[in-house]
Amino acid sequence: MSDQLNLVKQRIRELREISGYSVTEAARKLNMNERAYMRCEEGAEDIPISLIYRVASLYRVDTTDILSGKSPKLTTISVVKKGEGIQVERFAGYKYENIAYSFAHRTMEPMIVTLDPSGKKPELVMHNGQELNYCLSGQMRLIYDDSEVVLLPGDCAYFDARRPHGQTADSGETASFLTVINE
């Protein structure tokens, strides 16, 4: 387990404990079964970004608090230089860079995602809100519901994120895209 994932699961557990919730209560409030919640809190599996959003909402903290342990402070403008975002690795084959982590009270979550060319079909995820995927480099495949679409640099997909979706590098080479999620 990565050190970063260890710290994220520790912060989630601490937020639950500070709030006075039992594991059962936290799982119920997050609309998940207790066993699945415990696996995330113990770090036994990757923690989906959708769960991090729900945890942040439940405990009324920013996702940056959970991911980095620091609270964002900026409220008018945030500038993050290339490569200086918060690096997040949650799923095999996906590397995330949060590029607005220092802006407080965000209403959307912009990230640069780099896809490794594993050739494996990604695990499909669902979360509240809408999502934008803008291909920056390489060739990526967006799997959405029962359909698939290839995106090349400059191509964009915008969709209802409550439907199953996932992305993969499509040409045997690394691909990257900007994703903006609004829950």
What pLDDT digit, counting tens, does each position of 12-21 carry?
999 999 999 9
Residue 178, CA distances (Å) to 83, 89, 169 in order: 13, 16, 14
Does residue 73 form part of some domain?
A: no
Does residue 176 form part of some domain?
A: yes
The 10s digit of each residue's pLDDT in 114-152 is 999 887 888 888 888 899 999 999 999 999 999 999 999
pLDDT bracket for residue 110 (50, 70, 90): very high
pTM: 0.77
User: Domain range for residue 42?
Assistant: 3-68
Does residue 15 form part of some domain?
A: yes
pLDDT bracket for residue 7 (50, 70, 90): confident
CATH label of the domain that carries residue 160: 2.60.120.10
Question: Do both 125 and 172 map to the same domain?
Answer: yes
Total structural domains in the chain?
A: 2
On the question of pLDDT at 87 being above 90, the answer is no
Does residue 56 form part of some domain?
A: yes
